[in-house]
Amino acid sequence: MSATRGSKVSERVAPKAADPQPARKKHDDDDGPGFSMLFRAWVEAHRASLLDSLKRLGKQPIGSFFTCLVMAVALSLPMGLSLLLNNVERLGGSWQRAAQISLYLQLDADSSQGEQLSNQIKGMAGVADAEFISREKALEEFQQQSGLGEALKELPDNPLPGVVLVTPNEVDKATLEALRERLSELPKVQQAQLDLVWVERLAAILKLGDRFVFGLTVLLVSALLLVIGNTIRLHIENRRIEIEVIKLVGGTDSYVRRPFLYMGALYGFGAGVLSWGVLAFGLNWLNDAVVGLAGLYGSSFALAGVPVADGLSLLLGAVLLGYIGAWIAVARHLRELSPK
């Protein structure tokens, strides 16, 4: 009995151990929401902004379509010009063939030596191809092209040497001159000739085309940024009161900015799709005339369509331009909409 009474007294005197469960709950509350909850909230906020932007664009289908169409035309011009230049480079062979090095062999070099030399040159660095033309074939071609067939038949011997036509890998004046020097030192080569003037003209034409495309691209990209910026500015003005109320109740700049950024990206996506379609249709429409013209010259040349990689790059670039244009427009006007 005394032991039982003592234990009861000790229970009343000794403080009870604190329950660990409430402590853990309080500690969890201090940590705040977990990562999964924050991520779901972030996804929901972006989903709501995207749906809101789609809904607002859907309420003005005609205006949204023409805005995308204007952007698509501006995007199609530099891309279309670049594709046409790429197709022209394929016309009649590559540009490298215009910079061929002609190796005139000695008159005592026979056809077997010419073929052997041609195979040797094919394995050299900086050479794309090498073709041997025998003395007999060279005379036959000269008779056909010059119109002096009957007169050349009166000659006692064939005065033309064998020729090896060397096609380089790249069109560069310094590289071609170094290659010509190496080829001129080969056995049985009497003279190595390169039309450097034509190479310089060709390089100048290509450089001019590249600069023109680059300048046109810069101008049209600037125009696209102005178009998308002005369009987003109109949307901001239409929602001025709504934005001021949101900022009055504590809405952050990122919350206000997000729907307009999605709107700019959607404009860019629509413009990219339309531009891809315009380019595909335009090249296909132009290809009929090109095929007919090439057929008159006995060629099977045809324009290539829009490569998938170029089309995807165009689409991605249009989305980025729309996003950047919207960001610039919102950043400029957001300060003006601060609550007074």
In the chain, domain spans: 46-92+203-337, 96-202
Q: Mean pLDDT in the chain? A: 77
**How far apart are alpha carbons 302 and 284 in whole angstroms?**
10
Closest CA to 271 of 323, 333, 235: 323
How far is Cα of residue 294 from the mean position of the Cα atoms in its chain? 29
pLDDT of 276:
92
**How far apart are alpha carbons 274 and 281 in whole angstroms?**
10
96-202: in CATH 3.40.1390.10: no
CA distances from 50 to 55, 68, 308 (A): 9, 18, 27
Top pLDDT among 183 and 250 is at: 183
pLDDT of 271:
92
Residue type, 40: R
Q: Is the pLDDT of residue 332 over 80?
A: no
Q: Which pTM does this prediction carry?
A: 0.61
Taking only the tens place, the pLDDT of each residue in 72-107 is 988 888 888 888 877 776 664 455 556 788 888 888
Q: Is the pLDDT of residue 201 over 50?
A: yes
Where residue 2 falls among pLDDT bands split at 50, 70, 90? very low
Q: Is the pLDDT of residue 222 over 80?
A: yes
pLDDT of 23:
45
Edge-to-edge strands, sheet with 101-105: 127-133, 163-168, 101-105, 189-194
Contact in structure between 164 and 130 (CB atoms under 8 Å): yes
Structure tokens at 245: 């109320």
Q: Is the pLDDT of residue 274 over 90?
A: yes
From 60-64, 109-113, 202-206, 228-232, the region with the lowest mean pLDDT: 202-206
pLDDT of 223:
86
Taking only the tens place, the pLDDT of each residue in 248-258 is 787 777 788 88
Q: Is the pLDDT of residue 139 over 90?
A: no
pLDDT of 38:
77
Contact in structure between 337 and 247 (CB atoms under 8 Å): yes
